[in-house]
Structure 1
């Protein structure tokens, strides 16, 4: 039997994160009987103190309320999935946005790396560029750059366009501008290039988990067709 890998997930209450968590917790236990296949992992979820935790109970799930600005040492870990993210409107300022989408992401990755993680999967955004004049894209590009300096054997970066999903079920406030964008994207979807098409959060999650678990060492960027359901 292959030794079970341990995973850490940060951002497990968002559109992508909740699907990442579901994928990890529904791994087929029968696979562990195959010596060539990994056993289902223990999953540690980091969530911000004072914020809601995933409403799940599972024998392999361990929840940790943390301060992302002062993370404690993590238990030994193999894989880390980071789907933390907010909007400038929700955060209230550019500095508050950066504290989540850059600082908390990087802090999680550093803590996981220090705990032994060799594989990292992260969600950024289409247009991520550390030299962009657009603040949102610049922050996303800066966190990608800084993650690459941490020395993960395998780093998978998912760069979706707009994310589609039911936020009400996740107890997230509706985002009017996002709703309008989704309506427009759905109307234009047949004529848009693949990299610009809106993606369900679950599709992005499935692609990210599959890539982290199966791709060889190196940097891998997923966008466009790579974020579609596997056939």
Structure 2
């Protein structure tokens, strides 16, 4: 049997994060799965370790980053964050701090969710922040970084997102739209993204990798 691993998940309550946690707990190669959460999950498992975290002071939880694989599924929306500053805090500052702590504490792999269209020079704030995250991650001395860029996400959320619900309806009724050059815009399920994240973690690739939506 291959060596067992320890995993850390941030954003464990989100659409992708929930799926990542479930897959890691079910995988025999992971001996423990730590989640940093604001509130305890309604879940129990022998391998699950829950840490109530202050995300403004992630350094207080540095021991949790002594993991083999760190999965950052953090993310919010302008609507939920209320302000651009709060959005940037979650999507940029928390993610980068997590990556820095992962590097400092010897994590082998850092895997994170970005977005299709991420570009630090974009005129669109959402895409610009996602691009800034990707640019910064390239400069952090990690053994391996995997960035996942899904298009609109499908799946059950705790919140309603009109754009993604519309995309889901279009994809179901007119799947032929997402062919050829538009294939990369086809909505992807949160479960598929989570599956690819765990899959890539287990492949032991070194370096910086970007996985675009049409490969998810």
Same fold (TM over 0.5): yes
Alignment match of 2:211 (pick from 210, 222, 227): 222
CA drift at 1:188: 4.1
Matched, 1:200 2:186: no
Matched, 1:158 2:144: no
Alignment match of 2:122 (pick from 119, 129, 132): 132
Report which stretch shifted further, 54-63 or 176-185: 176-185
Aligned residues: 210
Aligned pairs (5 A) from 1:10-159: 10-27=10-27, 29=28, 39-48=29-38, 52-71=39-58, 72=60, 73-75=62-64, 76-159=66-149
Secondary structure of 2:51's aligned partner: strand
Report which stretch shifted further, 39-48 or 140-149: 39-48
In the other structure, the counterpart of 1:175 is 161
5+ long unaligned stretches in structure 1: 30-38
4+ aligned runs moved over 4 Å, structure 1: none
Matched, 1:184 2:170: yes
Q: Distance in 2 between matches of 1:139 and 1:9?
A: 21
Q: Distance in 2 between matches of 1:21 and 1:223?
A: 22
CA contact (8 A) 1:154 1:212 kept: no
Give RMSD over aligned pairs: 1.6
Deviations 1:13-67 (A, max 9, x none): 111111111111001x3xxxxxxxxx3231110113xxx3332111111111111
CA contact (8 A) 1:45 1:64 kept: yes
5+ long unaligned stretches in structure 2: none
Q: Distance in 2 between matches of 1:121 and 1:100?
A: 16
Report which stretch shifted further, 13-22 or 110-119: 110-119
Q: TM-score, normalised by structure 1?
A: 0.85
